[in-house]
Structure 1
Amino acid sequence: MQGSRIFMVSLSIVSLFTALISDGIIVESSSYIKALFIYLLFSCLYHHLRIISRNGNTSIDYGINYSLSIGLFTGPLGLFIFEVIYRFSVYLYKKQTKTDDPDEFFHTFYNIGSFVMSNSIAFYLFNLLYPLFQDAAFGFWIIMLILITVTSMLSDIFLITVFKLTGDIKTKQEAIDFIKTRSVLDMGKIAFTNGLLLLFLNEGKWEMLISLFILNYLVSRSFLSKSQMLQNKIERDKFEQMAYTDFLTGVFNRAYMDKKMTELNQSAEHIAIVVADIDKFKRINDSYNHAVGDQAIRHFADSLKSYLSKDDYLFRSGGEEFTIIMRFRSYEECLNLAQKIRKGIENSTFHADFKDQSISLSYTASFGLFYYKVNKLLSIEKAYVYADQLLLQSKDMGKNRLSSREESIHQHSPKEAVLTNA
């Protein structure tokens, strides 16, 4: 930590020395004061639109930066004055609002030093390249892209040095991965924005300069609002998923089953409600432990899910009880699928850890299936009760069975069947 602080302060001292040995402010005082005021105004205005990311103990602010254009217009000394006023204004604001990092004071020196140094190098590089590119097609914009690439690389080097000293980056690969996070599109946006600002500054088009700042602000503001809306939606979806997901098995829970049943009550579909339950589950818990029992439940859920299509629903409706809603199938198709699931469970095994050993266990399950067309006379909630009664019938007849029933509103004698474990 001490090493990183020394580096930050040293960087700012070197930037001060660079500014002092330069040719001073290379534009008229009146033009510099106008530019300084406008840049400070909009830079402070844009500050709350930045995106904050944390790398270890250090927070990084991502946002469009205008230091290149004012640095090229005024020279290193003019840039240094701008950065000092702007960065310490941000520092005081963060202190007042209690949003500052523990090392915010040193981070301020780092920001001054890194932006002044990288853009001062860009200033001298611009004066070197401009005579070579001034007659070339799009020569000015090629130079701006080169300068943004150079300043981005220098910025990454400075940041990686800080992270190396703080221990947030330990390997070469971590440094490479950090560099890869930089967006080429963002670099292009910064290059063209600073290029336009520099052209307006050189031609004294102050209204155009302010208009571009306002446009950038509106676009950035709109982007931030949409990003926040998207983030809020993602968080809402995540919380909803958590509310409707069973923590042990990852399938839908009873709350989502009730919600989905309410929706399907309006569907007028032909559906099969299947209630399935592990046979003699208490014996698993008593013979081993609840961890083995939990593993059996997870295996049961995964097995059931593996047979179903994307249109079907699987819910954990009780401890070791699951409910399936089969859709878009005939009664015979549902019956055959349920029987296939029952036999698959019977012939499968699962592995669990018990007393420092890996054990292999098997179990059977019983099923109750009720098939009907959703209608106003019989709700899905009532159909679920019928399926549960058919499950109990399978249990009473010796377990490892499938009991089923098909019912139609035009049918006086519903079909019933009990498929044994044969």
Structure 2
Amino acid sequence: MQKAMLYDISLFVTALAIALGSAALLVDNLTFLKALFIYWLFSSLYYSLRVFYKNGSTNIEYGISYDLSLVLFAGPLGLFIFETIYRFTIYFYRKLTKTADPSEFTDTFYNIGSFVMTNSLAFYLFRLLYDSFQSIPFGFWILVFLLACITSYLSGTFMVIVFLIIGELKSSKEAFDFIFKRVSFLDFGKVAISNGLLYLFLKDGKWELLIIVFLLNYVVSRSFYEKSQNIQTKLERDKFEQMAYTDFLTGVHNRTFMDKKMAELSESGEKMGIVVTDIDKFKGINDTYNHAVGDRVIQHFAATLKSFLDEDDYLFRSGGEEFTLCLRNRNFEETVALVHKIQNAIESSSVNTEYNGESISIHYTASFGLYYYRVNEYISMEKAYILADELMFDSKQLGKNRVSYINGLANKEEVLV
């Protein structure tokens, strides 16, 4: 950590030397103070819209910077004054809001040093190359775009040195990707256009247009930020909902989701087959082997059931080794045929797993109960589920590995023996 602190301070001292060694402010004091206040105000407002992401233990800030336009207008000394005031404003804000990192103080010196150094280089390159680019169509904008790229790549290089010092860089490819791939050319374009316009308006003293550019950037960024936050909130909500409704062992819907979905389907009035199925002699599998092997059998059972279902069908783990299926968009004969097909597939398959360090193959069967009816025509969906469960129990009583079913539309019971 001491090496990182020395590195941060060395960048700051170098930036200070560059600022003091450059010419004085390129504009009069009153004009600079006016520009300084506007840049400080909008940069501080924009701070809340910046994105932070972690690289190891390091928080990295990502967002548009207006430094390039200010250094071209006021010179390195003017930029150093702005960066010092702005970065310590952020430092005290984060301390007051208790969001500061442990290394926040030295990070402040790093930010001042790195931003002043990179943009000071851009300042001298601009002065060196400006006349040459004037003969090229859109030469000014091409030059500003190139300077935006250079400052970004140099800033990335400074960060890579930090990662090397604290030991969080794993490979040269990771360093290369961080320097050259973390920012897109669209981002460079946004930085170049914003800073180019700001510089031109500063140079011509068009303060109203300068403020309009800042406001436009802020409004657009605020809009995208809120949309991204809404999307992120929805993704997190969907993720938590999925976790709440998913059985952790098999990945299929759990009993909670089954109750919710059945309540929804109970209003549909559609024809449907409710199937309850249970692994035969499952306790014997657990007793012979162990629960890990039993879990593997349940996972295989769930995957087999799921492989036969269409997009509109539903599969739930309703408890232990018991599963419930809602088979939709089929007539009675098709539904019965499908359940038989599933039964035969389970009977003819096996589970390959390990027990006591050896590979074993387990064969198992399942019993099924099917109740086919029109939802809520005569009985509720909850009652249909109970009837399917009773039919599954009938299959167990008849010797297991069987399908028992009732066609509720025909008011006729049939049992396959």
Q: Same fold (TM over 0.5)?
A: yes
Aligned to 1:37: 37
Aligned to 1:58: 58
2:284 aligned residue: 283
CA displacement, residues 138-182 of structure 1 (integer Å, 9 cap, x when unaligned): 111111110001001101100111011111212112213323232
- Could you tell me which residue of structure 2 aligns to residue 228 of structure 1? 229
- Report what 2:100 is aligned to: 100
Letter of the structure 1 residue corresponding to residue 277 of structure 2? A
Structure 2 equivalent of residue 74 of structure 1: 74
- C-alpha separation between the residues in 1 aligned to 2:415 and 2:131? 92
Alignment correspondent of 1:414: 412
Letter in 2 for 1:52: F
Task: Encode CA deviations 1:16-69: one digit per residue, 9 max, x unaligned.
Answer: 111111112111222111111111111112111211111111111111110110
Correspondence list, 1:133-152, <5 A: 133-152=133-152
Q: CA deviation at 1:14?
A: 1.0
* Structure 1 match to 2:156: 156
**CA positional deviation for 1:370:** 1.1
- Give the distance between the partners of 1:105 and 1:254, measured in 2 at CA: 52
Bigger shift: residues 219-228 or 233-242: 219-228
Q: What is the count of residue pairs matched by the alignment?
A: 416
RMSD between aligned alpha carbons? 1.2
**Structure 1 residue matching 2:319: 3-state secondary structure:** coil
Give the Cα–Cα distance (whole angstroms) in 2 for the partners of residues 36 and 73 of structure 1.
11
Q: In the alignment, what sits opposite 1:320?
A: 321
Alignment of 1:194-209 (within 5 A): 194-209=195-210
Match of 1:342 in 2: 343
- Alpha-carbon distance in 2 for matches of 1:182, 1:221: 20
Q: Within 5 A, what are the aligned runs for 1:394-413?
A: 394-408=395-409, 411=410, 413=411
Q: Tell me by how many angstroms 1:415 deviates.
A: 4.9
Is 1:192 aligned with 2:193? Answer: yes
Structure 1 residue 124 corresponds to structure 2 residue 132: no
The answer to whether the aligner puts 1:181 opposite 2:179 as a matched pair is no
* Counterpart amino acid of residue 81 in structure 2: I
AA aligned to 1:178 is F
- Distance of 1:13 and 1:359 partners within structure 2: 69
Per the TM alignment, residue 10 of structure 1 is displaced from its structure 2 partner at its CA by: 0.8
Shift of 1:375: 3.0
Find the aligned partners of 1:376 and 1:189 in 2 and give their Cα distance. Answer: 62
Alignment match, 2:382: 381
In the TM superposition, structure 1's runs of 4+ consecutive aligned residues that sit over 3 Å from their partners are none
Gaps of 5+ in 1: none
Amino acid aligned to 1:393: D
Per-residue Cα deviation, 1:93-143 (whole angstroms, up to 9, x for no partner): 112222111111111111011100110000011112210112322111111
TM-score (norm 2): 0.97
Q: Secondary structure at the match of 1:49?
A: coil
CA distance in 2, matches of 1:227, 1:133: 38
Q: CA deviation digits over 1:229-248, x for unaligned, max 9?
A: 11111111111111110111
Write out per-residue CA displacement over residues 178-207 of structure 1, whole angstroms, 9 at most, x where no aligned residue. Answer: 232323222211111111101100110011
> 2 CA distance for matches of 1:125 and 1:261?
69
The Cα shift of 1:376 comes to: 4.0
Matched, 1:260 2:261: yes
CA distance in 1, matches of 2:177, 2:407: 60
Counterpart check, 1:4 vs 2:1: no
* Alpha-carbon distance in 1 for matches of 2:19, 2:140: 25
Separation of aligned partners in 1, 2:282 and 2:309: 23
Name the counterpart of 2:309: 308
**In 2, Cα distance between equivalents of 1:205 and 1:286:** 84
> How far apart in 1 are the matches of 2:311 and 2:182?
36
In 1, the alpha carbon distance for the partners of 2:173 and 2:400 equals: 58
**Separation in 2, partners of 1:291, 1:415:** 39
- Measured in 2, the distance between the counterparts of 1:121 and 1:26 equals 16
| Equivalent residue number for residue 245 of structure 2 | 244
Q: Distance in 1 between matches of 2:164 and 2:380?
A: 65
Query: Following the alignment from structure 2 to structure 1, what is the Cα–Cα distance between the partners of residues 178 and 303?
Result: 38
SS where residue 317 of structure 1 aligns? strand
- For the pair 1:48 / 2:48, whether they are aligned, the reply is yes
TM-score (norm 1): 0.96
Write the distance in 1 (CA, Å) between the matches of 2:377 and 2:127: 82
- String of CA shifts for 1:279-312, please: whole Å, max 9, x gaps: 0000011111111111111111011111111111
Instruction: Show structure 2 runs of 5+ residues with no match.
Output: none
What secondary structure is seen at the aligned counterpart in 2 of 1:400? coil
Give, in whole Å, the separation in 1 of the partners of 2:61 and 2:335: 57
How far 1:321 sits from its partner (Å)?
Answer: 0.2
Which SS does the other structure have where 1:24 is aligned? coil
Q: SS state of the match for residue 252, structure 1?
A: coil
Aligned equivalents of 1:177, 1:327: Cα separation in 2:
50
Q: Distance in 2 between matches of 1:164 and 1:273?
A: 61
Q: Distance in 1 between matches of 2:327 and 2:96?
A: 60
CA distance in 2, matches of 1:309, 1:386: 23
- Give the counterpart letter for 1:162 in structure 2: V
